[in-house]
Structure 1
C-alpha cells in the first residue's frame, strides 16, 4: 500500500470514529403534522420549560428540535388544541433514542458516536407522535350524571368511522 493510500485510509477511519451513526443519517429537527376535527383549531406548542415555540391553526406542519442542546437532552412538548365551542385537548410529544443511534453505533460509530457525538447533536432522538389527528368534540348538553352529548358535522367524522354511522331519525 502506498503512503497516499495509507493516509487516506487513516483519514477515513478517523472520520468514522469521530462521527455518530445517528448524526450521519439523522436530523436534529423533525416535522410534526397536526390536524384536528373540526379544522381551524388554535394550536399552541410549548416545550418542557413551558416556553411557547409555535402558535398557529390546524391543519399545520411544524418543525421541532429533537434535543435541547445539552448532553443527552431530549426535548418534550405539549400541543394544546382549542376552538371556541369545543372541548380543548392537550397532547404530549416525547423524545426517545432511535434505531440508528442504538444499532448504528454498535456496528459503526462505537463509543465516540454513542457517548459524545450523537448525544450532543440530538440526531439520536425521534419525536413521538409525529402525526397528531385530534378530535375536539363539541359539548352541547350535559346533566348531573356527568355524561355529555357531542354533535359533529358529517364531514368532520373520520372516513374510517363513517361506515359505523346509523340514521336515528328523520327530519
Structure 2
C-alpha cells in the first residue's frame, strides 16, 4: 500500500514490482509491504524513499530549475534504497481448518498442518 492507503500491487512471490520514489511535489513515497500465507503469521514491512545523493548534483549540473522544479516534480530527488525485500514467515500455533465454515469438513494436505499440530494427531485405523 502507498502512503494514501491504496493497494499498489497484489500477487504471489517472487515478484518484481516497480515503485515510484516520489509521491508528489517535494514528497517522498512511503509504502507498506504485507506478506501473508495461510497457516503463517502475517509480516508487514515499511518501505520509504530517501533523498537521492545525485539530487545535490543540480548545484553543479542542473541548476536551480532542476533542484527546485524538475527533480521534485518527477520524484527524481528520491530513491528507494532497498532493491530486494525478503521475509521469513513463521508458522502460527493456531490452526483453523476452515474459518468461514467451522462446522464443515475440509480435507487438507499434511504439509498444510503446522508441525506443532502434527504432533497431536492420532492415526485412525481402518
TM-score (norm 1): 0.52
Are 1:54 and 2:15 counterparts?
A: no
- Aligned with 1:50: secondary structure? coil
Q: Which runs of 4+ in 1 moved over 4 A?
A: none
Q: Tell me which residue corresponds to 1:119.
A: 72
Cα distance in 2 for partners of 1:113, 1:134 equals 37
Instruction: Give 1 or 2: higher helix fraction.
Output: 1
Q: Tell me which residue corresponds to 1:71.
A: 25
- Aligned with 1:118: secondary structure? helix
Cα distance in 1 for partners of 2:9, 2:92 equals 27
Q: Tell me which residue corresponds to 2:90.
A: 137
Q: Tell me which residue corresponds to 1:19.
A: none
Cα distance in 1 for partners of 2:38, 2:87 equals 15
Report how far residue 97 of structure 1 moved: 1.1
Structure 1, unaligned runs of 5 or more? 1-45, 142-149, 152-171
- Aligned with 1:63: secondary structure? coil
Q: Which string of whole-angstrom CA distances, capped at 9 and with x for unpartnered residues, describes residues 135-154 of structure 1?
A: 0111338xxxxxxxx96xxx
Structure 2, unaligned runs of 5 or more? 95-113, 116-126
Comparing both chains, which one has the higher relative contact order based on Cα–Cα distances under 8 Å and sequence gaps of 6 or more?
1
Residues paired across the two proteins, number: 96
Q: Tell me which residue corresponds to 1:85.
A: 39
Cα distance in 2 for partners of 1:116, 1:134 equals 37
Report how far residue 129 of structure 1 moved: 2.2
TM-score (norm 2): 0.70
